[in-house]
Amino acid sequence: MGGGGSRPAPHLGSDGLTPEVRQYRDAVEVWELRKRSENSSGGRDVYVSAVRNFYNSEGQFVRQVQNDVPGWVGTAIAEHTGTTFTSEYGSFRAILLRMQDYTGTYSTEWVSY
């Protein structure tokens, strides 16, 4: 009755995750993006909002208001709306999700609402 074949236990961190799972978790970002531009008596008014949701170093999913967006977010905005985050024209509301696969390659998903 052979007893071989038992697999070693994975190396878990204090958060109960393996380094590989932690890498995937830490790479997840969810952005809440809003832009509204409109004419007013004083010219154009532009209202923007960017909120980054991500896992912090303690493994908590946190929400953080941003004053600016990183380049990859700006690129996604331009691709999906034809405008930039800070230009005078264009309006949108969207969720932008970024994640990383096992090769380290990032992918994004854009959802307008």
What is the amino acid identity at position 101?
D
Cα-trace Rg, the chain: 20
Bridge partners of 55?
A: 61
In sequence order, the 6+-apart residues with CB closer than 8 A to the CB of 54 are 26, 28, 29, 30, 61, 62, 64
Q: What is the per-residue pLDDT across 43-80, written as a single tens digit (0 to 9) for each?
A: 889 999 999 999 998 889 999 999 999 999 999 999 99
Q: What is the per-residue pLDDT across 81-99, written as a single tens digit (0 to 9) for each?
A: 999 998 999 999 999 999 9
pTM for this model (two decimals)? 0.83
In sequence order, the 6+-apart residues with CB closer than 8 A to the CB of 72 are 98, 106, 108
